[in-house]
Amino acid sequence: MLETIGPFFQKLYEGSGWNFIIFYEAYEYDRFVAAIWVSIQLIIACLAFSLVVGIVGAWAQGAKSRFIRLGMAGYIQFFRNTPPFVQLLTFYFVVGTITPQVDMGGYYEPVIGAFGWAVISLGFFAGAFNTEIFRSGIEAVPTATVEAAEALGYSRIKAYIYIILPLAFRVCLPALNNNLVNLLKTTTLAYAIAVPEMMYTANQIWSDNVNVPEMMIVLFLYYIGLVGILVWLMHRWEHNMRIPGYG
């Protein structure tokens, strides 16, 4: 890869001064590729965790216990109305310091590192929105459908898994799409706790090579490309899951 594009960017630098060093120098190239992997892992982990939180949360909102429902409402309002950046710092610096450490043979390392806290914090943040989105989807499922499931002998959890959730999912896909795009963009916050994802690595690269404008262009293209891919996937999914005549 580097051999094919390297000479072009080297020439570009010598000719015009545009220093896309990540595309012609092996060391920076490796850093860049590593950052792509970390950021994609981070995004996928955050998306998955936020979806799980959303599904479980929407279910817990309809729980019998008043205590659980009140707790859920508190969780949602708290995470929706406080800055995600401060949430991340709180998780990492406050909760992170009281979690146990493991002996790594001579030195101690926390059970959950920066990457883990980024996933937990951003997952809970987006999960609060997902919970609301799924709840609105569940509310959109007609009562008659739920009653029909009940008449067929479905238990509450079975009806939730086999009847309500599949229908609700289709209703809330557009809203979910929006929120997941937002989450993808929010993963750049992990920069603040030194997760070596794209934002962080780009910062390191422009600090070392003083090529801020070039790295900014790369960053913009990278994130807009990722958002484009996510939106495309979600649209395809929406299209494939469409039930003719429903919704």
Partner 1 sequence: MLGAKYMPGVDSTPKTDLPVLLPVKESARRGQLFCDMGGRLFLDVKPQHLVWLMLVILLWSGAAQAASKYGVVWQFQTVFKWTPFILKGFALNILISIFAMVIGTVAGAALGLMQVSLLLPVRRGSWVFTQFFRNSPWLVLLFSVMLLFPFELDLGFAVIPVPDWTKAVVGFSLPIMANISEVVRGAVVSLPSGQWESAESLAFSRRQTMWMIILPQCVKRMIPPWINWYCILTMATPLCSIMGVEESVTHTVQALNAEGDKPELLPVFYGFLLFIHFVFTYPIARYSIRLEKMYAVKI
Is residue 119 part of the contact set for partner 1 (CB under 8 A)?
Answer: no
Task: Give the Cα separation of 67 and 84 in Å (integer).
Answer: 26
Q: Which stretch binds partner 1 (CB under 8 A): 6-14, 17-25, 93-101, 108-116?
A: 93-101
CA dihedral of residues 9, 15, 17, 21 (deg, nearest 10): 20
Is residue 42 part of the contact set for partner 1 (CB under 8 A)?
Answer: no
Question: Which burial class, exposed, middle or buried, applies to 101 when counting CB atoms under 10 A from its CB (0-12, 13-18, 19+)?
Answer: exposed
* Contact in structure between 78 and 148 (CB atoms under 8 Å): no
Indicate which single residue of 117, 180, 191, 196 sits in contact with partner 1 (rule: CB under 8 A): 191
The residues in 53-92 that bind partner 1, with binding defined as CB under 8 A, are: 58, 61-62, 64, 69-70, 72-74, 77-78, 80-87, 89-90
Closest among 178, 200, 189 to 130, alpha carbons compared: 178
Indicate which single residue of 53, 114, 199, 205 sits in contact with partner 1 (rule: CB under 8 A): 199
- List CB contacts of 54: < 8 A, sequence separation 6 or more: 126, 127, 129, 130, 131, 133, 134
Question: Sign (positive/negative) of CA torsion 40, 43, 46, 51?
Answer: negative
Indicate which single residue of 34, 52, 102, 152 sits in contact with partner 1 (rule: CB under 8 A): 152
Residues of this chain that interact with partner 1 (CB under 8 A) are: 58, 61-62, 64, 69-70, 72-74, 77-78, 80-87, 89-90, 93-94, 97-98, 135, 138-139, 143, 146-147, 150-153, 156, 164, 181, 185-189, 191-192, 199, 203, 206, 212-213, 216, 219-220, 223-224, 227-228
